[in-house]
Amino acid sequence: MMIAITGTPGTGKTHLSKELTKRGYKVLDLNDHIRRNGLLEDKDEERDTYCVDVDSLDISLDEHRTKDLTFIEGHISHCVSCDMAIVLRCSPDILAERLKCRGYSDGKVAENVQAEILDVILCEASEADMPVYELDSSDDSPESIADKVTDILAGNTDKYRPGNIDWTGELEKWF
């Protein structure tokens, strides 16, 4: 079973993954996998990001598709064949601060905040043929988010279904 841990950059995927690893789960860092397998393509200079052939990426993950539970962490993990996606969400103000602390340019911060407000990752994940759940990481610790992931794995999913988190009220503030 393969579960995507996805979300806009800065929503807490890496911190959650570290906590899940501490708890004994197998977690694959998708960005590292992409680099190790030579899957980076041309750089989009305008957006300051690299392109990835998702079909080639999906094929490269075949060796990780086993009966054992594997989480794949990365903001495009929902684009590959998975059994489930967990989308981390974050308040636009908190997300912007996290991205600024990483040294993101104002334009890149704005692009990612806009994507978060407009539910871009959630919508993309929801278009795939798999269950999708969303978790608000704005004020929760990685331990608390990991507890919620465990809750989802136990079948307690109703409170995590898409539609519970709505940042659209922030649109006017940001754009």
- The band of 174, judged by pLDDT with boundaries at 50, 70 and 90, is confident
- The band of 18, judged by pLDDT with boundaries at 50, 70 and 90, is very high
For residue range 24-58, what is the model confidence (pLDDT) as tens digits?
999 999 999 998 988 877 766 676 676 788 889 88
Segment 72-89 mean pLDDT: 95
Give the global pTM.
0.92
Asked if residue 149 lies in contact with residue 101, where contact means CB atoms within 8 angstroms, the answer is no
Question: Which architecture does CATH list for 2-91+120-163?
Answer: 3-Layer(aba) Sandwich (3.40)
Phi and psi at residue 28, in whole multiples of 5°?
Answer: -105, 120
How far apart, in Å, are the Cα atoms of 131 and each of 32, 38, 83, 109, 162? 25, 30, 7, 29, 10
Report the C-alpha gap between 140 and 124 in whole angstroms: 24
Q: What is the mean pLDDT of the chain?
A: 92
Report the C-alpha gap between 112 and 66 in whole angstroms: 33
Write down the domain spans for the chain.
Answer: 2-91+120-163
pLDDT at 125: 95
Phi and psi at residue 141, in whole multiples of 5°?
Answer: -75, 160
Q: Minimum mean pLDDT among 53-67, 73-87, 119-133: which range?
A: 53-67
Segment 147-151 mean pLDDT: 98
